[in-house]
Amino acid sequence: MNTVLLSGDRRENSGSWILSTRQDPRWLLAGFLGLYVVLGHLLLRFNRAPLEIAVAFVACMAFEVFYTWVSTRKLIFPLAAIVFGLGLAIFFMAPGNAWLMLLTSWLTITSKYFIIWRGRHFFNFTNLALVLMLLLSGGQVAVVPAYQWGGSYEIVALVFTAGLVVMSRVNKLPLVLSFWTVFVLGALFRAELTHLPAAITLYSQVSGGAFMLFSFFMITDPKTSPASFKGQLLFGVGLGLIDLWLQLSFAVFSAFYALFLVSALRGAYYVATDIRAKLGARTAAAPA
């Protein structure tokens, strides 16, 4: 098992330690998510017990340190695991089942080290773990509902502003805006098609913390989202269209399934391209 260093994973080796540089965009993401966890307990209606949040935070860091030590015999400051743990503490809900939080933490970090193709990751690790748990837990887990965040305009405006600032700093604004554009148009289309008010198809979703953090944290993961302007536009539009299709099919937690499907399609494209290139090189090198 090899430690994988990608463009969004800026590290520097210091003796027996692996440390993140100051330029690593995940510092901003960690600060953003940490602020949201604090707001959740001080101002909003979080329904996660402190034990569940502690399990997510500690378990993700412990698994990250363990896997890194096994693969490199070095210690790591687990910045990525801090981001994952905070994300799970916000997104994942399994009241009274701290062991499910532990299992989800293990799935999150394990997928980082084992679901990989030639040094590249395609799935957001937190999203992948959530989708697997939603599919396999028999209804014991869920993604946090919008009402937990209070639905106040002030909180929405604060998170919206802070999120846009962070996205501009990490160069992921085209991805977020393209997804939002398709999502808003799709919500208005669903309102017209189903004769539901836009307050249900649009505002009830975007006012929730899960949607905001999905947009600002999950789809913009530096390791698993496109870096180019064109790639971000295609990724965001594709994500919005698949989410619309799932919403019309009355799928619950549609955005999380949509991200899983878009990531799988993107990964399949790159794997097929690599295999085709490799076979072409072998054919060209074969003696006549």
Residue pLDDT, tens place only, 81-95: 998 998 898 888 887
pLDDT of amino acid 262: 96
CATH of the domain at 84: 1.10.3430
pLDDT in tens, the chain (288 residues): 333 333 344 455 556 888 888 778 788 778 878 887 877 777 766 667 788 888 999 999 999 999 999 988 899 999 989 989 988 988 888 877 889 999 999 999 999 999 988 888 899 999 999 999 999 988 888 887 766 655 566 666 777 787 888 788 788 999 999 999 999 999 999 998 888 888 788 877 777 667 877 888 889 887 889 999 999 999 999 999 999 999 998 778 899 999 999 999 999 998 998 898 888 777 777 665
Is residue 154 one of the residues assigned to a domain?
yes
Contact (CB, 8 A) for 123 and 267: yes
- Which residue has tokens 């965040």? 149
Instruction: Report which secondary-structure segment, H or E, holds 153.
Output: helix 153-169
Is residue 101 one of the residues assigned to a domain?
yes
Domain count, the chain: 1
Is residue 68 one of the residues assigned to a domain?
yes
Q: What is the pTM for the complete model shown? A: 0.85
Rounded-to-integer distance, Cα 183 and Cα 191, Å? 12
pLDDT of amino acid 287: 65
What number of other Cβ atoms are within 10 A of residue 163's Cβ? 20
Is residue 96 one of the residues assigned to a domain?
yes
Is residue 4 one of the residues assigned to a domain?
no
| Structural domain boundaries enclosing 266 | 11-285
Is residue 2 one of the residues assigned to a domain?
no
Rounded-to-integer distance, Cα 274 and Cα 266, Å? 12
Is residue 3 one of the residues assigned to a domain?
no
pLDDT of amino acid 3: 36
pLDDT of amino acid 132: 94
Is residue 203 one of the residues assigned to a domain?
yes
Burial class (CB in 10 A: 0-12, 13-18, 19+), 2: exposed
Rounded-to-integer distance, Cα 76 and Cα 17, Å? 6
pLDDT of amino acid 13: 56
Distances (CA, A) of 111 to 67, 133, 244, 253: 11, 13, 27, 21
Rounded-to-integer distance, Cα 100 and Cα 150, Å? 26
Residue whose C-alpha is closest to residue 163's, from 85, 219, 243: 219
pLDDT of amino acid 152: 61
